[in-house]
Structure 1
Amino acid sequence: MKAVIIAAGLGTRMGRLTESLPKPMLQVGGKTLIEHKLDALPEGVDEVILIVGYLQNIIKKYFGTYYKGKKISYIEQSKLAGTGSALWLAEPMLRERFIVMMGDDIYSSVDINQALKHEWAIVVKKSENIVSGGRVIFDQRGNLKDIVEGVHEEKSGFLNTGLYSMTPDIFKYKLVKLQGREEWGLPQTLLTAAPDVPIKVLLSDFWIQITDPKDLENAEKTLSQNMLDLSKAL
């Protein structure tokens, strides 16, 4: 099975931290953000496709062609045109069910394994303070109903983490262009498949969204506390 990690962005909101380093290569807890994802993957995932762009040679030099027994392949997104466009570049390499993750967030192995139990899934995080991002709406059966992007008046809800399980059938659908932008979104395109296939909405066990330097600081504290709690439990 393959995993796709979208890691091509500029990371402009990180300021000076990403002037000479791609955002997914920033470190938290002594590991790069990409390594956190690779280490969370189960043995059943034997190949990882990294969609790279900005300062891609740093990523390629660091990881090479294998990481802890998993093959690493690279695809260049020369024009940054959204997460949907990024995934579509990998279409020729995806012939069976696969998972997708964002390159600058931290996910748990529990969430990844949970997603892999379903052909189609989107992982969400319950939040009492949603300011922006993709608010996920689901029906009584727990299947995807809608994804509402932008600034939200209602603060509580379920936020899209950017972790998905899907099949190559996703490529049968036309990419959805984001309004007023030369970008095509993966969540918006996934939503067009929802009337045809049940896309399970799964509640996240652990997710750290990293957008700016403050998030990076908070991630460091969160991971340190988790390690402390684990050591106390042993």
Structure 2
Amino acid sequence: MQAIVPAAGRGSRLRPATDDHPKALVEVAGRPLLSYVFDSLAPCASEYVVVVGYLGDRIHERFGSVYEGTPITYVEQPSREGLADAVGRTEPIVEDDFLQLNGDNVLRGNVVEVIETHSERNADATLLVERVSRERARRGGVLSIEDGTLAGIVEKPDDPPTRLSTTGCFAFSPRIFGAIEAIEPSERGEYDLPDAIGYLLDHGGRIETVRLDGWRVNVNTETDIARAERRLSGESTNG
């Protein structure tokens, strides 16, 4: 299965480290952030499709065309127009259902289960989700539940409807591309992936969720890097 990795961001909250290289190459425990994303996807990926933007040539120079035997294809996102726009730019080379993991995640969890659930239930979108604090729920995509059923995803809500948050890991059918084309940009001028998933939901798409069994750190700040390194260090100690 092809695996899409959006990695076009600059990572302004990690400056000055990102003044001369992209966020995806920021080091965590001595390794580029993007290498952890590849490792998480490795059991499932037939090809990595990396969406690059800010200093994307540095990513190409660092990883080349193959990572540990799996080919890498690069797709350009010239301007920051949101995560849905990044995913949409891969449509010409995506062949079928695909896996996605955002390029700023250090994740240890049940990625394979996401694919299995997606396939078994013939879903259009399968979301790996986790229960988070209300503070963290305000900083990402949060599930809205009505009568025990997924009603949508709310992006960065002031008053989160639940504490179930997306993790940046998804499986999609090609129907997601039509949904991306159908949505309008947000007030920030960006095309938000939760809006595209919501469009699928509103137009008869089958949406499934899988609870995270493991851990993940979304790396946006130096504090996040330290937190990821502590988790990784704990793995080494336990191993």
User: In the aligned structure 2, how far is the partner of 1:90 from the partner of 1:44?
Assistant: 18
- One-letter amino acid matched to 1:218: R
Q: Secondary structure at the match of 1:123?
A: strand
Matching residue within 207, 224, 228 for 2:233:
224
| TM-superposed deviation, 1:102 | 0.9
Residue identity opposite 1:179 in structure 2:
S
Q: Determine which of 129, 133, 139 is the counterpart of 2:140.
A: 133
Question: Is the CA contact (8 Å cut-off) linking 1:131 and 1:155 kept in structure 2?
Answer: no
Read off the aligned partner of 2:201 and give its amino acid letter.
A
Quick one: distance in 1 between partners of 2:133 and 2:209? Answer: 18
**Identity, % of aligned positions:** 26
- Residue 172 of structure 1 pairs with residue 171 of structure 2: no
Letter in 1 for 2:26: L
How does 1:136-151 map onto structure 2 within 5 Å?
A: 136-138=143-145, 144-151=150-157
Q: Note if contact 1:29-1:220 (Cα within 8 Å) is conserved in structure 2.
A: yes
Q: Work out the CA distance in 1 between the residues paired with 2:70 and 2:145.
A: 34
Give the alignment's Cα RMSD to 1 decimal: 1.9
1: CA distance, partners of 2:105 / 2:27 = 11
Aligned counterpart for 1:214 among listed residues 201, 212, 223: 223
Matches within 5 A, 1:1-234: 1-108=1-108, 110-117=109-116, 118=118, 119=123, 120-129=125-134, 130-138=137-145, 144-154=150-160, 157-173=163-179, 174-195=181-202, 196-205=204-213, 206-228=215-237, 230-231=238-239
Gaps of 5+ in 1: none
- Report if the CA contact (8 A) 1:22-1:55 is conserved: yes
**One-letter amino acid of the structure 2 residue matched with residue 204 of structure 1:** L
What TM-score does the superposition give when structure 2 sets the normalisation length?
0.88
Shift of 1:95: 1.9
Residue 175 of structure 1 contacts residue 185 of structure 1 at CA under 8 Å; is this kept in 2? Answer: no
Q: Alpha carbons of 1:204 and 1:14: their partners in 2 closer, same or farther (altered >3 Å)?
A: same
Helix, strand or coil for the counterpart of 2:176? Answer: helix
Question: CA contact under 8 A between 2:142 and 2:162: conserved in structure 1?
Answer: no
Q: TM-score, normalised by structure 1?
A: 0.90
Deviates more, 1:39-48 or 1:60-69: 39-48
Residue aligned with 1:226, SS: helix
